[in-house]
Structure 1
């Protein structure tokens, strides 16, 4: 049974904490996953655990990680003002 790349990524990062969501965008034109994705952890401490490790290698590929800061939704202004 072959595991999907998304499941492999989720399984790998589960060693650092509880993975809430894992997304790997798929390119319909090429038929392959794009070379980036998102992993959402349940707690900020889990993210810090990931960055404690110097290098992450999955299936022979070194992963380049970036931490995304939480974006706040911009408040809508009332158009009548």
Structure 2
């Protein structure tokens, strides 16, 4: 294993948040775009952000990125 357990957790945590910020805008429609603006809210606020689905996709993508990084690190130290 190329990384210690705490280092692996730290790398995965940072990777997960970077991927989260990349995934958050996917499929978002604002209230203005949907034509249903609730009074007292910002027209640019999302209608249905689907955060749980995005968190699951973020976890899958971050796990794949972490696996690729681990494989690279394993073969780079040889």
Q: TM-score by structure 2 length?
A: 0.25
Identify the structure with the greater helix proportion: 2
Identify the structure with the greater strand proportion: 1
Instruction: Give the structure, 1 or 2, with the largest relative contact order (CA under 8 Å, sep 6 or more).
Output: 2
Q: TM-score by structure 1 length?
A: 0.24
Q: Which has the larger radius of gyration?
A: 2
